[in-house]
A and B are shown apart, each in its own frame.
Chain A
Amino acid sequence: MPGMSRKAAVALAASASIALLATACTGQSSSGSDDDASKDTTINFWHAWSAPNEVKAVKTLVAGFEKAHPNIHVNIVGNVTDDKINQALRAGGGKAPDVISSFTTNNVGKFCSSGALVDLNPFFKKADIDPETTFPKAMNEYTQFDGNRCTAPLLGDAYGLYYNKTAFAKAGIKTPPKTWTEFEADAKKLTISDGDSYKQLGFMPNYHGWETTTEHIFAQFSPTYFDSSGKSNVAKDPAFTAGFDLQKKLVDELGGFQKLEKYRATLGDEWGAKHPFHTGQVAMQLDGEWRLGMALDAKPKFEIGVAPLPVPDDQADQYGKGYITGTITGIAATSHKQNAAWELVKYMTTDTDAVVGFANDIHNVPSTLAALKSPKLKYDPRFKTFLDIAANPNSTTSPASINGGQYLVTIQNFGYDFERGKVKNLKSGLDSTAKQIDTDIAQAK
């Protein structure tokens, strides 16, 4: 090797080996959508459901698909965590999923921007399905990022207000609150103190109060999380200031952060039978549609009422809206059977009877406008509230972002500091929060 010392040659070889080794473990996505979906084939479908009734419901759903498409066989793999899905989407291969479903709606931005899941827009176009008129507005929004629709909604979740009708009657409250002003008054009326604790709390406003998160409360203010240039809007949109102010006011009026936090530590957990709403320890609860079934199973000693969450006084005409999220499904970019995979995705997400049947079995909100109106839907009359919230065009969601739900976590973390009084100046706090969100997004790009 003229002109190069032996040491330099060894160093070069070592560097090349390192580079090769290091890049060897980085899976590369490759697409292959030239398969013939009319031929006999088997595809892999990975999902995260794990409860026996849910697993059975998925099997029933897939059985319906196989009946409609006898040439496409589906190998179902259940109870798969997002970590495993991510790894499989990177690696690809014969055993990797062709179709995935995930509960982590917040990851849509990452799935789309990285190209891990294929853009479904061409498939929808080819099938002559318009997602805008097929799916509810919010669901349509959270399944795409930057014009790339790499996922489709596979049932949804809508958030509303559960209230203890018996406690309402005792407190002389006739109807559920429609505005936050009414809500504040009702929460105070329903709160019965017991020394430094409570006999009954009207509402647990602390952000660690199960589903009382910033995004769920703020949805009622219809916030715009990002401006047109993709920068955080938290410091500019008054919806955030109003949301933070409302929650802090509730915390202060209902006993203060420390008292509420101490009481919260004595309460049962979110997914158990001793959830404080079931036991009557908390009279109003912000929660998803699944709470109704869980609360009824717990056989509470009071009558359960369900209503949409209140809205700001100046948006009273939008009463009926709520926060929407849900399960998503998509096709792996590494799949070589994308056309067959699309047939499954299309069936699960757009076939009205399939969506209705699955919603009936899982007790979630159907994810198409047609299914929401289907007479075949079986539900408790109170569940209708959630169907209406899902179909409401004013309902909102948190948009997909390149770094998943990190911006929501950053907002939530600021909320923790604000509610306990660690941060007193809301304006400067929101400025810092916006700056942090922008820095995190720049790091992800």
Chain B
Amino acid sequence: MATITLASKRRRSGLAAKQRKQALRTFAFMSPWLIGFAVFFAYPMISTIYFSFMHYDGFKPPTWSGTKNWTYVFEHYPLFWPALRNTLWLVVITVTLRVLFGLGVGLLITKIKTATGVFRTLFYLPYLAPPVAATMAFAFLLNPGTGPVNSILEKIGIPAPGWFNDPAWSKPALTLLALWGIGDLMVIFMAALLDVPKEQYEAAELDGASAWQRFRFVTLPNISPIVMFAVVTGVIQAMQYYTQPLIAGKVASGVIQGAGTQFEPGYPEKSTLTLPQLVYNLGFQRFDYGSACVVALVLFVLSMAFTALLMRRRGGLNLAGD
């Protein structure tokens, strides 16, 4: 009995050693990712949470401040709620329009029989324009006084909007800019559309399906993972929207930061403020790293919430059902 127990123990111990070795090997292979995750995600994430409860100006050692930063951001920081509203507006309106427009352009280009390469290039090129240059160009094109867009609108009798100089039009103007640079989504959708099996279209046609029914019951279910990808990455990009609204506001305001002055973003009337701009404003202009961390965490939670919601709704996009 004792011999059997000993042998069984040895077997178990040998098995455990083998499992440990296996686990170590797995960890060794995973280590580059684990190190990257720890250094570039876990550490910054934990630090952000830590600093959100600290008073820290970047110079003196941080001191515990409890929920003071959270209270300040949510109750007393006048830019937070306008920035949150703008960010949500951009997430809902701009992302939706970008996905629809990207899909539409992708569909059109896959249907074109001649000069396909030319059209692909024409639609893709704006995406390559550096964001600062593209935004400045748009600000000049949409200048309410001297811009060619308003000159044309006035000539044909359409009331010309104030675009980046009007709080009601600044976000639609930013959306136009985002739609102009649709090249990335167009390429992704084109690849997905060309990947839809032709037999399915043939079968649908034989069944007498109309063009809309073919799109609804063949195309959409096949490309739904790509639509999901476009929406999720679009939401994350919209949450991180920084350069374009900042530059548009600066150019349209006509005020370039001069000597000894402090610039506050959001022209006109806080309508181009986004949450990432607040992180910069609080952290690097006001030296309030604690409150900047609070805004960064709000951004993180919102991004996660949107992504989780979209992932749960993923089935809804597969309109034909599985």
Chain B residues near A (Cβ < 8 Å)? 43, 46-47, 50-51, 56-62, 68-69, 72, 76, 78, 143-146, 162, 165, 252-256, 258-262, 264, 267, 269, 284-288, 291
- The answer on a CB contact under 8 Å between B62 and A444 is no
Out of A18, A103, A403, A440, which one reaches B259, CB within 8 Å? A103
Stretch at the interface among A2-10, A123-131, A207-215: A207-215
Among the 9-residue stretches A34-42, A109-117, A220-228, A378-386, the one with 4 or more Cβ atoms under 8 Å from chain B is: A109-117
Given A22-B47, A403-B288, are A157 and B59 also a contact pair (CB < 8 Å)? no
Is there an interface contact between A110 and B57, defined as CB atoms closer than 8 Å?
Answer: yes
A357 at the interface (CB under 8 A from B): no
In the bound complex, what is the Cα–Cα distance between A194 and B259 (angstroms)?
A: 35
**Nearest B residue to A267, CB-CB:** B254
Closest 10 CB pairs of A and B: A266-B145, A114-B59, A105-B260, A405-B262, A325-B260, A22-B50, A103-B259, A265-B145, A409-B264, A116-B59
Q: What are the residues of chain B within 8 A of A409 when measuring CB–CB?
A: 262, 264
| Contact in complex: A18, B50 (CB < 8 Å) | yes
Specify the chain B residue showing the minimal Cβ separation from A263. Answer: B145
Q: List 9 A-B contacts (CB under 8 A).
A: A22-B62, A103-B259, A105-B259, A114-B58, A114-B60, A213-B261, A262-B144, A265-B162, A405-B261
Interfacial chain B residues near A22, Cβ < 8 Å:
46-47, 50-51, 62
A270 contacts B57, C-beta separation under 8 Å = no
Closest to A445 in B: B55
Residues of A at the B interface (CB closer than 8 Å) are: 18-19, 21-23, 25-29, 83, 86, 89-90, 103-106, 110, 114-116, 157, 208, 210-211, 213, 261-267, 269-271, 288, 325-327, 403-406, 408-409, 412-413, 416-417, 420, 422, 436, 439-440, 443-444
Of A25, A115, A405, A413, which is within 8 A of B60 by CB? A115
Q: Which residues of A contact B68 (CB under 8 A)?
A: 443
B262 touches which of A29, A114, A211, A408 (Cβ 8 Å): A408
Given the complex of chains A and B, what is the CA–CA distance between A83 and B263 in angstroms? 14
Bound form: Cα–Cα A131–B262 in Å: 26
Q: How far is the CB of B260 from chain A (nearest CB, A)?
A: 4
A104 touches B262 (CB 8 A): yes
| Given contacts A29-B59, A89-B59, A443-B76, A266 and B47 within 8 Å (CB-CB) | no
Contact partners of A103 in chain B: CB under 8 A:
259-260
Residue with the greatest number of chain A CB neighbours at <10 A, chosen from B56, B264, B288: B264
User: Which chain A residues border B259 with CB–CB below 8 Å?
Assistant: 103-105, 157, 288, 325-327
Residues of A within 8 A of B58 (CB): 86, 90, 114
